[in-house]
Amino acid sequence: MEIWINPACSKCRSALHLLDEEGADYTVRRYLEDVPTQDEIRAVLERLGLEPWDITRTQEAAAKELGLKDWARDAGSRDRWIAALSEHPKLIQRPIITAEDGTAVVARTDDAVRDAMSR
């Protein structure tokens, strides 16, 4: 199991705390430092069953600068969104846990963290 975190994020710290409490075996990826490639983002999106706009933090300054709220949310725009997430990793929703069964979850709640651990 791998968890993508921003150490400054309270949801990420909470998820790590719960993983530690439960004795989970996991690897931490500080995705602002170890920025995911476009292919890695595509793979995580597939595991999540989501589209890039579903995991984009649209209230971030970079999102506003890019005008993301006006971008199309369709198959033809998917690569543009993925490129933006890779170029501006702060836009990626966090934390994301990739589970052992090949799925992933956006683990913003304790229930989502537990769900990932049970997979």
Which of 1, 9, 18, 28 is an active site residue? Answer: 9
The yes-or-no answer on residue 12 being catalytic is no
Measured distance CA(66)–CA(2) in Å, rounded: 29
Contacts of 31 by beta carbon, 8 Å cutoff, 6+ apart: 4, 5, 6, 89, 92, 94
Only one residue has tokens 């430092």, namely: 33
Which residues partner with 30 through β-bridges?
5
| Catalytically annotated residues | 9
